[in-house]
Structure 1
Amino acid sequence: MSTAAELPELLKQLREQAGMSQSDLAARLCAITGTATVTRAEVSRWERGRRRPEAWLAALAVGLGVERAALEAAAERDRRRALPDARDMWAGQAAAEASAALRTGSVETDDEWTHVSELLRRTFLKRGIAAITLPTVGVGELQHIAAALEDSRRYADAALVEHFRRCIDEAAGLDRTVGAAASIPTVLGLVTAIDQTARDARPDVRRELQRTAALAAELLGWFYRDLGARQPAGYWRDRAMEWAQTAADSRMQGYVLLKKAQAAWDERDAVGMTTFVQAVQEGPWHLPPHVQAEAAQQAARAHAMLDQDVNAMEAEIEKARGLLTEAASPAGIGPHFNKALFELQVAICYSEAGRPGRALELYEANLTREAFSKRDFGYFLSLKGAAYAAAKDPDNAAVSALSALEIARATDSARTYREVLRVVGRLRGWEQRSAVQELRQAVLR
């Protein structure tokens, strides 16, 4: 092994010496970190120098059986070689032209795109930002981002903030179609870029960047929650709260507390749900009506879980329904919460209150593939299976759970998979039925 090798070459050497394929290394890293975000293609990009595994060096050291310091030294050599004069490159006239290009929308050629993309990549590498991907922006925006990273006080502005927010929206959209794992590297890179840019930006821009970082961190919390990685999910929710507090964004602070309540539901922690929901409802957050409606619905679920108090539960449901009626089209935080989603959340309340028949009525009326993303459809289908099991209908429970399982695997949704396992547990005693046997075999596969 060459001690002076660049990181891509070194990683390949170490992997081959360990007798591992790229897929083997990816699987080992997933097992070490407890996530499902490393793929064979990602390892290939690291070994070709197309992306830098800065955030994975500790796990790589364990997986490859080497000292972390050796990998960090190689990474530092790469950083020095990547862009020795980056500050000069983006100073003065070049940076001014970058900012002007963003505003004028100048037409780019393929050569310009290739050139600027490479310069931007090097700028990111120099600053340790390895995971960011920006597939939909133009040359002007690429130049502007790079200029802001080099001189954020001068070039970080409202247009840059808006670009970062668009990237976050695109990542959220990708999550809804193919699952959370595909978007995590992009959003991790965005968070790093936003945080570094905010440090030296003008105070007014810094606050907007901090608000944007809070949005990105909350999204990461959701991604890791769906992947079943509780520790990183909690970490990113806490970071979202920190950035929201730093930006004096009270609405985002209340919204993160609501997300903590939802995470407590995953663990069926009714007391935790109640604690967080009370903080949401009683705090000085000035939340929009549709978020208040979601909080009331969470309070209803907590009532159902704690004491199956149907009257108290339905009072909160009606409160939520009224708030949702007066809400305009959801925008900003919580844009996903609409009438169809609300009705399925109500179905969960009735299931928890011991009234699965009413829950199934709501699932039948509102759970459609047209109204929900593939991943969310699978999640609620698993909960519908649980309602069937509670209603002592094992065949329909198994059929629903089996369909949910297929979607969970297609979208890497550990959250849905966990709910499918709950259905399997509820079907004990019906193991001799063919549909239940098919579900159990599918889970084992």
Structure 2
Amino acid sequence: MGQRPNVLTPEASPLDRFGYTVRDLRERRGLSLRGLAEATFCSYSKLWKWENAKRAPKYRSEVEQLDRVLNAQGLLIELWERIGTDDSPQGHVSVSGLHVSESSVDLAMAASQRATSDDEGIFVPARLRDGSVVFVALDRRAMLRGGMGLGAAAALGGGTPAAASSLPGLTRPARSASAYSGTPVEHFQRARRLLIDSDNLLGPGRAVAAARQHIEDIKQLRQDAKGADRHALMELQTQYAEFASWLYQDLGDFDSAQFWLDRAFQWSHTVGDVDLTSYVMARKAQLAGEMRDLVDVVDLAETAQRMARPRSRLAAVARTYESYGHALRGESTDSERAIDDVRNALDRVSGDTTPWGVWLNEQYVEVHRAQGLEVLGKHAEAAEVFTSAIKALPDGYHRDRGVYMARAAVAHAGAAAPDQAAAVGLQALTIANDTGSGRIVRELARLDKALVPWQRQPEVAEFRAHFDGTLAHES
């Protein structure tokens, strides 16, 4: 049973007025809250909080999208602006209370990300008073007004990208298929491949805004497309949604990653591509594993295997994620059996014609075996396997190399080799600064904690000082 909506008095506050107006406009247009969530690419829970004056939208781009969908003619933007900047959600680190140390992050990268939109938010790692490291959402413009340095900003330079133009009052023309050389599908397919390459080398911060904008553009094109063209655009929209989920996952924003995977899963059923749906389900298992969700990870992986073609590459991909799920649960035998099944299947699935999971190879499987060993407490063996897999990693996987290095460093620390852990951790930190990968930073936060017993050793102290320099700090 859903939550009961608040009875709002519009005159009580600007926030109440905004929530009241959103609900009124939605109901006048016959939209359910879930229908509005689908139309605006916002989560149901977020919209519920807005409508019930529990929280104001954080970013202007979200309000602009809501205003367009509800045809409010700028009314919602005006009401949102009256709320002011005092209504900060709980759990966020306040800008005025932040101290950020300088870091060696490339400032050009930060500038390019800042230029995406002055209203765009930023998702950064911060150290709390108790020494723990968490990811917090900050308003980019308020952050810069508050004098925050660029170290933490550039380290994870992503945020919720604006779907609309950054120029106030400028309306973008509707997308038209005749505007493209070749077909629109070919255009967006090429753009997606370029974004994937950019993500591998430079990280997600530069690709996430483009991916979300392309989803909007494809939706516009679908309005006039028919037949095979409409179907192809829907399939491409699904692929972009899965890619957007991956980008947010790497940024460390798991809520947005789950939201876009849910959209991809829903849209994949519209496409009717069994392989694509199976792949998205396997990705759900992977995300659950990264979130250390002990309840869902194995169930999702097993479901993906049932959905996949028998003895297919996608079944092996899902079995890989199942192995890690068993490791998280402490089920060593089941984990090792699953990963052995995948290793034995590699030759068989190498000829699979599906475009999904083509990266499944011996190095990928070995990395996941090492990841499971580390979780199971077999640190020395995990570190050895990580090191061998990293050496065999092909060129062009700059960010992934950093993720694996960070995990190897954690394994070295677990094996009581602090000097080696700190040295490998510093290399991973360099890649984190290059790419803005939240996955690397999360692993390095684990390393930072694991190295506390050796914090007086010079190598360890050097790593911890450099890592600390990339973080925002709670005052």
The TM-score with structure 1 as length reference comes to: 0.66
Alignment correspondent of 2:227: 203
- Which digits, 9 at most, give the CA deviation of each residue in 1:309-343, with x for residues without a partner? 2x222211121112222123675122332221111
| 2:173 is the alignment partner of 1:126 | yes
Q: CA RMSD in A?
A: 3.5
What is the CA distance between 1:420 and its match in structure 2?
0.5
Q: How does 1:218-257 map to 2 (within 5 A)?
A: 218-257=242-281
Deviation (angstroms), 1:39: 5.1
* Aligned partner letter, 2:243: L
What amino acid maps onto 1:361 in structure 2?
E
Structure 1 residue matching 2:391: 3-state secondary structure? coil
Q: Is the 8 A contact 1:300 1:314 kept in 2?
A: yes
Checking the alignment, whether the CA contact within 8 Å between 1:308 and 1:354 is kept in structure 2 is no
Q: Secondary structure at the match of 1:307?
A: coil
Matched, 1:416 2:452: no
Match of 1:181 among 205, 213, 222: 205
**C-alpha separation in 2, matches of 1:45 and 1:278:** 40
Cα gap change, 1:394/1:281 in structure 2, threshold over 3 Å: closer, same or farther? same
Any conservation in 1 of the 2:426–2:463 contact (CA below 8 Å)?
A: yes
Q: Secondary structure at the match of 1:337?
A: coil
Aligned to 2:410: 386
Q: What is the match of residue 345 of structure 2? A: 323
Q: What is the distance in 2 between the residues matched to 1:144 and 1:203?
A: 14
Instruction: Name the structure with the higher helix share.
Output: 1
Give runs of aligned pairs for residues 109-188 of structure 1, distance below 5 A: 125-127=172-174, 146=179, 159-188=183-212
Counterparts of residues 88-107 of structure 1 (less than 5 Å):
none
Residues 379, 411 of structure 2: 8 Å contact kept: yes
Aligned match of 2:454: 430
Alignment partner, residue 303 of structure 1 = 326
Whole-angstrom CA distance in 2 between matches of 1:188 and 1:287:
34
Which piece of structure 1 moves more, 313-322 or 219-228?
Answer: 313-322
| 1:349 corresponds to 2:386 | no
Give per-residue Cα distances to partners, 1:36-85, cap 9 Å, x unaligned. xx9544665779xxxxx8999xx7998999xxxxxx99968533xxxxxx
Larger radius of gyration: 1
2:187 and 2:453 mapped to 1: Cα distance? 55
AA in 2 matched with 1:340: Q
Aligned-pair distance for 1:401? Answer: 1.2
Superposed displacement of residue 364, structure 1: 2.6
More strand by share: 2
Return the alpha-carbon distance in structure 2 between the equivalents of residues 317 and 164 of structure 1: 36
In structure 2, C-alpha distance between the alignment counterparts of 1:302 and 1:45, rounded to whole Å: 37
- On the 8 A contact 1:384/1:400 being kept in 2, the answer is yes
Distance 1:40 1:241, change over 3 A: same
Specify every segment of 5 or more residues in structure 1 that has no aligned partner in the other structure, as ranges. 1-13, 19-26, 32-37, 48-52, 66-71, 80-124, 130-142, 149-157
- Higher-RCO chain (CA-CA 8 Å, sequence separation at least 6): 2
1:263-318 Cα distance to aligned partner (Å, 9 max, x none)? 222222222211211211223x3378332222111111111221232x22221112
What residue number does 1:361 align with? 384
> Which residue is 1:290 aligned to?
313
* 253-262 or 209-218, which deviates more: 253-262
- Match of 2:377, SS state, is coil
**Residues 45/188 of structure 1: CA separation in 2 closer, same or farther (3 Å cut):** closer
Greater CA drift, 290-299 or 164-173: 290-299
Partners of 1:74 and 1:270 in 2: CA distance? 41
Instruction: Look up the SS of the partner of 2:318 in the other structure.
Output: helix
Measured at CA, do residues 389 and 186 of structure 1 come closer, stay the same or move farther in structure 2, by a change above 3 Å?
Answer: same
Distance in 2, matches of 1:240 and 1:327, equals 25
3-state DSSP of counterpart to 2:425: helix
Using a 3 Å threshold, how does the CA distance of structure 1 residues 203 and 441 change in structure 2: closer, same or farther? same
Structure 2 letter corresponding to 1:146: A
Normalising by structure 2, what TM-score?
A: 0.62
Equivalent residues of 2:298, 2:322 under 8 A apart: yes
- Range with bigger deviation, 331-340 or 221-230: 331-340
Q: 1:340 aligns with which of 348, 363, 370?
A: 363
Structure-2 separation of matches of 1:73 and 1:144 = 20
Q: Tell me how far apart the structure 2 counterparts of residues 292 and 195 of structure 1 sit (CA, whole Å).
A: 31
1:160-194 superposed Cα distances (whole Å, 9 cap, x missing partner) = 32332121111101111111111122222221121
When residues 329 and 74 of structure 1 are mapped into structure 2, their CA distance, relative to the original with a 3 A threshold, is: closer
